[in-house]
Amino acid sequence: MFSLSQKIAFVTGAGSGIGRAIAIAFAEAGACVHAADIDLASAEETVAMLATPGTAHELDVRDQEACARVAALVHGAHGHLDILVNNAGVGHVGTALTTELDDLDRLHAVNVRGLLAVTKAFLPRMVERKAGNIIHMASIGGVLAVRDRLAYCATKFAVVGITKSMALDHAADGIRVNCICPGRVETPFVKARIAEYPDPEAAYREMSATQALGRMGLPEEVAAAAVYLASDEAAFVTGTPFLLDGGWAAGK
Percent share of the chain, pLDDT over 70: 100
Domain range 8-182+219-244, its CATH number among 3.40.50.720, 3.30.70.1430, 3.40.50.1970, 3.40.50.10210: 3.40.50.720
DSSP string, 121-185: HHHHHHHHHT-EEEEEE--GGGTS--TTBHHHHHHHHHHHHHHHHHHHHHGGGTEEEEEEEE--B
pLDDT for the residue 91? 94
Q: Are 27 and 54 contacting, i.e. CB atoms less than 8 angstroms apart?
A: yes
Give mean pLDDT, residues 197-205. Answer: 92
Burial class (CB in 10 A: 0-12, 13-18, 19+), 2: middle
User: Average pLDDT for residues 79-95, to the nearest whole number?
Assistant: 97
Residue type for 130, please?
Answer: K
Q: Report the mean per-residue pLDDT for the chain.
A: 96
Question: Catalytic positions, please?
Answer: 152
pLDDT of residue 242: 97
d(CA 111, CA 158): 9
Whether 190 shows a pLDDT value over 90: the answer reads no
Confidence bin at 244 (pLDDT 50/70/90): very high
Cβ atoms within 10 A of the Cβ of 183, count? 26
Task: Tell me how far apart the alpha carbons of residues 215 and 6 are, in angstroms, rounded to a whole number.
Answer: 36
Closest CA to 210 of 194, 198, 223, 224: 194
pLDDT the model gives residue 90: 95
Q: Can you list the positions of beta strands (E) in the chain?
A: 8-11, 32-37, 55-58, 83-86, 132-137, 175-182, 241-244
Quick one: 64 exposed, middle or buried, by C-beta within 10 A (0-12, 13-18, 19+)?
A: middle
Under 8 Å between Cβ of 59 and 66: yes
8 A C-beta contact, residue 75 and residue 81: yes
Report how far apart, in Å, the C-alpha atoms of 47 and of each of 67, 82, 124, 137, 220 are: 19, 18, 27, 20, 16
What pLDDT sits at residue 112? 98
In whole angstroms, give the CA distance from residue 26 to residue 154: 29
Q: What are phi and psi of 245, to 5 degrees?
A: -120, 10
Query: Comparing C-alpha atoms, which of 159, 161, 213, 152 is closest to residue 186?
Result: 213
Instruction: Read off the pLDDT band of 192 (50, 70, 90).
Output: confident
Instruction: State the pLDDT at residue 198.
Output: 92
pLDDT, tens digit (0-9, with 9 covering 90-100), for 96-135:
999 999 999 999 999 999 999 999 999 999 999 999 999 9
User: Does 251 score more than 90 pLDDT?
Assistant: no
pLDDT over 80 (residue 1): no
The structural domains of the chain, with segments of one domain joined by +, span: 8-182+219-244, 186-216
Residue-level pLDDT at 199: 93
> Residue 116: its pLDDT value, please?
98
- Predicted confidence at residue 185, as pLDDT, reads 96
